[in-house]
Every structure is written in structure tokens, then in C-alpha cells.
Amino acid sequence: LNEKLDYMENLGIVGFEPNGRNLAARVNELEQALRGRNIRVSAICAGFEGFILAEDPAVKAQFDSTMREIIAAAGAIGSPGVIMVPAFNGQKPCKPHTFETRQYLCEELFKLGEYAKECGTTVILEPLNRRECFYLRLVGDAAAICRDTNSEGVKCMGDFWHMQEETSDYAALLAAGPEYLQHVHMASRGKRRMPGEDGELDNYVEGFRALKQMGYDKYVSFECGCSGDPEILVPAAVELLRSQWELA
């Protein structure tokens, strides 16, 4: 962990996004590792068991208890949020995609959001692409769920990889706006590797323009693999992010 943080610090990276699995037991370790550094926890990425739209009450209960434990730990280490997906396509049995389920989702998210607020953090809905999560694919839809949930503890995010679903990066991020947009993921837009590995496909300028216009002051986090030499590709990706941000 310390080597990783040293490497990040050398590149001028200021946010670190750990996975939520077993987070409660890692709070101390993470606090120690971040002490005296210019790096903060940018978000906690999932790590819970079960899922919020599970039909089986036991699976839903598993989600509630593990997610709440992660939320409490996230608040303790000062993370601005915990990322979650309502249901992956493979998670079954799942509540049907109906009006009633949407109502149910808002009610359940409200309880979770209020709990997150008490803990000093938020829950962040992440839309994915249709192959992974048919239920939630668009940033604007995630933002509308936040609005209808009406809890300050419920936010959403955009992931440039999944945003292949969107017709416009600019419109998608602006639709969420400063009120709901809490986090952003990026990856190369062909193979989900380091930004830059897919050449001209890796254009984030329109999305960044929306972020700049709304005064976005949160994190843009790399969530991707690397198919070549990381000593070359990782610094190049950080440079690409900075130059495209400048350009936007």
C-alpha cells in the first residue's frame, strides 16, 4: 500500500479509491498510510454482499448489513462516498423492472442515504452499460433517482467507460450537475485500459467541459487495467487527463 501511494504521489495524484471489502478492518491501516500525504480517499468502490433489488429477503438483508458497515467505515476515513450498483444483470432473482420497483428503490435508497449522511458520507449510484446492468445505464437516469429519493446522502457518478451508452458525454454529466454528480471514473474507451491506450477513441474533452462548466471540484478516478508497460502507460494516462482537462 505504501509503495502504491508513493508511486501515486510522485505522479501528483491526490485521490485513492480502495475497494470496500473488509473496509472496517482496514480503517486504521489506511489512516496510517495516508498520514502526512497529499492523498485522500476519493471514494470507496463497492465491496458489499447481496444487492438492493434482491427478491430474496436474506440477500437484501446481507446487502443492508454489509453496505452499512462499509458506509460507517467510509465515514470514519473521510471518504466522500461509497459506490454501488442497484443490480448487475447476473444477480438473480431480482425485483422486476417496473414502476413499483423504482419506487421501492427510492425508498430503500432514502434510508441508506440518511444513514450515510449521519456517518458523514454518501452513497453513489453508478450507471453501467447494458451488458452489465440493464437496470441503470444513463447518468441522467441515476440523477433522476437521486432527485426522487430526496436525500442529501444519495448521489450519482459517471464512468467514461460505461458512458458508451450515452449520446453525449457533455449532456450526460451536465444532466447530473453539481447537485448530484459526486464522482467520475475513467478508462480507455475501447478495451478499458489506461486512457490513451485506445488512441483517438480516448477523448474526454466534451465530458471534461461539462465538469468545468459546473465547477466540478471532486475526483476523476482511473478504473482500468493496463496492457503494456505501466512505467510508460500510467504516467502517459495522467498526462493525457491533465492535457485534455486543460483543453476542455
- The region of 53-61, 91-99, 106-114, 183-191 touching Mg ion under the rule CB under 5 A is 183-191
Radius of gyration over every alpha carbon of the chain, rounded to an integer in angstroms? 18
Residues between 132 and 171 that touch Mg ion (CB under 5 A): 159
Q: By the 8 A CB rule, do 174 and 200 touch?
A: no
Quick one: 37 or 192, whose CB is closer to Mg ion?
Answer: 192
CB-hemisphere CA count at 13 Å for 222? 21
Quick one: 33 or 46, whose CB is closer to Mg ion?
Answer: 46
Cα 204 to Cα 199: distance, rounded to the nearest angstrom: 12
**Residues in Cβ contact with 165 at an 8 Å cutoff, skipping those fewer than 6 apart:** 127, 129, 130, 137, 138
The per-residue b/e assignment along 65-99, b for 16 or more CB within 10 angstroms, e otherwise, is: ebbbbbbbbbbbbebbbbbbbbbeeebeebbeeee
Name which position in 69, 108, 148, 223 contacts Mg ion (CB under 5 A): 223
Quick one: 159 or 169, whose CB is closer to Mg ion?
Answer: 159
- The region of 26-34, 113-121, 141-149, 179-187 touching Mg ion under the rule CB under 5 A is 179-187
Tell me whether strands 44-45 and 82-84 are parallel, antiparallel or unpaired: parallel
Q: Does 183 bind Mg ion (CB under 5 A)?
A: no
- The region of 15-23, 25-33, 115-123, 220-228 touching Mg ion under the rule CB under 5 A is 220-228
- The region of 54-62, 114-122, 182-190, 239-247 touching Mg ion under the rule CB under 5 A is 182-190
Quick one: 60 or 197, whose CB is closer to Mg ion?
Answer: 197
H or E element that contains 106:
helix 99-118
Quick one: 185 or 193, whose CB is closer to Mg ion?
Answer: 185
Name which position in 137, 155, 183, 185 contacts Mg ion (CB under 5 A): 185
- The region of 14-22, 137-145, 181-189, 234-242 touching Mg ion under the rule CB under 5 A is 181-189
Cα 248 to Cα 234: distance, rounded to the nearest angstrom: 21
Closest separation in Å from C-beta 167 to Mg ion = 19
Quick one: 159 or 166, whose CB is closer to Mg ion?
Answer: 159
H or E element that contains 123:
strand 123-125
The footprint of Mg ion (CB under 5 A) covers 159, 185, 223
